[in-house]
Amino acid sequence: MFHAQLELPNKKISKFIYLRVNLIFYVKKFTITLLSTIFVALIACSIQSISADHLEPGPGIFLDENEVELVSYWTTESATIQGSSYQVYLQTVIRNDDGQLINVTEITRTGAFVRHELTDYVFDTLMGEKEIVTIDNIKYEKVQYTFSPTIEQRWIGMYPIFEEIPIKIKVEGEKILNVYKDHSIWKIHYCADFSNIGHDGLQCIPVFQVLVPTITLEPNDAVTHQWTILRDMN
């Protein structure tokens, strides 16, 4: 057996943060259940009543108390998307521990994004240099972002581009080194405390995500994400 947990550094904040990660991994004929519960004590002060994001009119981050609201450029009419419209593309490159190329996959039609100013913030400030491109007489801002998730991040499915409170994933034991894991979705997470919009706790929001054909990764495999994201300037 093994034990894994998420560790948060000591930090004074104005509310109680509760993070519970309940992850189930299936390995051949047995199931490994990973359960991590983290409590961060805080010095509480008076907290005003805040209306939850999903109850407010207009596009928000959350669809309900737990689910994030995602839209796709390919399945949603652009005219009905309030705010910025994004096209999300992903190339994944997988190599073994000897550096030999195993697989290259390019995904062009299954990308989705959160239609909220948070996504604009991530695009504008966290993803690097932009360039202007014209496709079919439409101008776009284009950015390319590269990320190589660690084996621990792959295990729990968390791929942060930003962490308001740094999260350390600690794994004890050697079982993780012997487990093969299937992947069918990759994401870019923004991790923060969203109590100011009525959703308490440290949460990691998938501002961008892409569905991919299921692929099995060995522990020593390395995967590199090359994201290409276009924002309509019109």
pLDDT of amino acid 97 = 92
- The string over 97-125, giving b where at least 16 C-beta atoms fall within 10 Å of a residue's C-beta and e elsewhere, is eeeeeeeeeebeebbbbbbbebbbebbee
pLDDT in tens, 3-22: 445 555 544 333 333 333 33
Nearest 10 degrees: Cα torsion 117, 195, 113, 102: 130
pTM metric for this prediction:
0.72
b/e code 44-83 from CB counts within 10 Å (16+ = b) = eeeeeeeeebbeeeebbbbeeeeebbbbbbeeeeeeebee
Q: Where are the alpha helices (DSSP H) in 25-162?
A: 117-125, 151-156
> For residues 49 and 56, what is the distance between their CA atoms, to the nearest angstrom?
14
Banded pLDDT at 72 (limits 50, 70, 90): confident
pLDDT digits (tens, 9 = 90+) for 160-174: 999 998 888 877 766
